[in-house]
């Protein structure tokens, strides 16, 4: 079954056997605005997010408009003014709402468009939005870019959705392009991802530092009255102060008579910071009534200690941890059988 109708000089044809609808001899489709098209827009926004979906609608609108503008620009014996009239009538007949183009300055390539009851406005109402969309504003920017042969951009003066009788959009030459907007969004997304990764790294670093503090240089009560503190790696000022405070504050709870500092795990390149720290923690322990014994001193480490300006002769020193513990036991009148 074939049917056709002409409205306002525009042809509409249907071929039900083929399931085809022609608008001005071109394949076209019909969608319900407040249900099917709303679902289409809602789905894009749900998947892409608000910012990205706005750019998708803007880009799509502009590029579709550019096709229309370039088509009418190629028509012979049709001026830009006439083309704008043809376009607005065509769009009105296709259910795009009513558009009026005013204040056209051909030399400046500037103009104003008033849109009333557009399909995008109806979708926005169905979506319960408070701000109008940018598909149609960008679409007409694409149209005028094609007509003028120069990049045209837009500024929304007012949206009908805000309670006005119509939307008003100004158009003018601009360096703003869809391609630039896409790149800017991509760079913004990359920057946001980098910031998120940096924050994640910072969080993990804090967790790792906390774990290192818990695991490094633990206080080990090996026997009654004897505690061992193994020194591992390098000690900067912060780490030295933390271990000093941790050790001295825990000695009373262990009723430590002897503090055995095991230097086996120290970095072979002993810094002045580390030697000073060893002397300080040992001297501080002595002042609290806990005697300090140094163990795990390798020949290389002993050479570095003797070359330092700090006097370690006030501490009893042994090569191995076993020797140091046996010595401490003997001093407090105990032995291992």
User: What is the phi-psi region of residue 128: left when phi exceeds 0, alpha when psi lies from -120 to 50, beta otherwise?
Assistant: left
pLDDT in the model for residue 57: 93
**Burial environment of residue 311 by CB neighbours within 10 A (0 to 12, 13 to 18, 19 or more):** exposed
Query: Which tokens hold the place of 207?
Result: 């967790």
Dihedral angle of Cα 17, 64, 35, 31, to the nearest 10 degrees: -20
User: Could you read off the pLDDT of 278-325 as tens digits, one per residue?
Assistant: 888 888 888 888 999 999 888 887 887 787 777 788 888 888 899 999
pLDDT in the model for residue 18: 87
User: Could you read off the pLDDT of 134-160 as tens digits, one per residue?
Assistant: 999 999 999 999 999 999 999 999 999
Domain ranges across the chain: 31-176, 217-331
Higher pLDDT, 170 or 304: 170
User: Could you read off the pLDDT of 189-229 as tens digits, one per residue?
Assistant: 777 777 787 788 788 778 777 766 665 567 888 888 999 99
pTM: 0.59
CATH number for the segment(s) 217-331: 3.30.750.24
Looking at the DSSP bridge assignments, the partners of residue 3 are: 14
Fold of 31-176: Muramoyl-pentapeptide Carboxypeptidase; domain 2 (3.30.1380)
Q: Where are the beta strands (DSSP E) in 20-70?
A: 20-23, 26-28
Quick count: other Cβ atoms within 10 Å of Cβ 165?
10
Cα–Cα distance for residue pair 65/142, rounded to 1 Å? 4
Out of 38-52, 77-91, 151-165, 275-289, the most confident range is 151-165
Q: How far is CA 127 from CA 37, 131, 159, 188, in A?
A: 11, 10, 15, 27
- Best CA proximity match to 119, nearest among 160, 83, 156: 160
Looking at the chain, the whole-number percentage of residues with pLDDT higher than 70 is: 96
pLDDT exceeds cutoff 90 at 2: no
Instruction: Kindly report the backbone phi and psi dihedral angles of residue 5, in degrees, each rounded to the nearest multiple of 5, phi listed first.
Output: -155, 150
User: Could you read off the pLDDT of 119-141 as tens digits, one per residue?
Assistant: 999 999 999 999 999 999 999 99
pLDDT in the model for residue 216: 59
- Best CA proximity match to 111, nearest among 133, 130, 83, 89: 83
Tell me if domain 31-176 and domain 217-331 are identical in fold: no
């Amino acid at each position: 079954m074939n049917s056709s109708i002409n409205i306002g000089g525009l042809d509409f044809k249907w071929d039900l056997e083929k399931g085809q609808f022609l608008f001005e001899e071109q394949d076209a489709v019909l969608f319900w605005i407040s249900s099917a098209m709303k679902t289409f827009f809602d789905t894009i926004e749900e998947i892409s997010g608000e910012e990205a979906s706005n750019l998708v609608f803007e880009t799509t609108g502009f590029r579709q408009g550019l096709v229309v503008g370039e088509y009418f620009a190629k028509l012979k014996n049709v001026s830009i003014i006439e083309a704008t009239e043809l376009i607005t009538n065509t769009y009105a007949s296709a259910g795009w709402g009513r558009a009026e183009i005013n204040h056209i300055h051909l030399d400046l390539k500037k103009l104003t468009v008033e849109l009333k009851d557009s399909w995008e406005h109806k979708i926005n109402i169905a979506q319960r939005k408070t701000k109008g969309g940018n598909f149609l504003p960008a679409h007409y920017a694409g149209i005028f870019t094609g007509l003028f042969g120069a990049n045209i951009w837009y500024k929304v003066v007012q949206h009908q959705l805000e309670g006005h009788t119509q939307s008003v959009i100004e158009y003018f030459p601009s360096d703003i392009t869809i391609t630039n907007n896409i790149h800017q969004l991509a760079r913004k997304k990359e920057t946001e991802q980098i910031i998120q990764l940096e924050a994640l790294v910072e969080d993990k670093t804090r967790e790792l530092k906390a774990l290192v503090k818990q695991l490094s240089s633990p206080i080990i009560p090996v026997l009654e009255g004897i505690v061992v503190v193994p020194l591992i790696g390098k000690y900067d000022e912060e780490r030295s102060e933390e271990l000093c405070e941790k050790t001295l504050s825990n000695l009373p709870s262990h009723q430590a008579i002897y503090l055995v500092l095991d230097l086996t795990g120290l970095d072979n390149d002993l810094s002045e910071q580390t030697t000073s720290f060893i002397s300080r923690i040992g001297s501080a322990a002595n002042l609290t009534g806990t005697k300090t014994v140094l163990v795990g001193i390798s020949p290389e480490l002993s050479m570095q200690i003797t070359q330092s300006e700090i006097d370690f002769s006030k501490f009893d020193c042994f090569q191995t941890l076993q020797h140091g513990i046996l010595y401490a036991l003997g001093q407090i009148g105990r032995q291992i059988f």
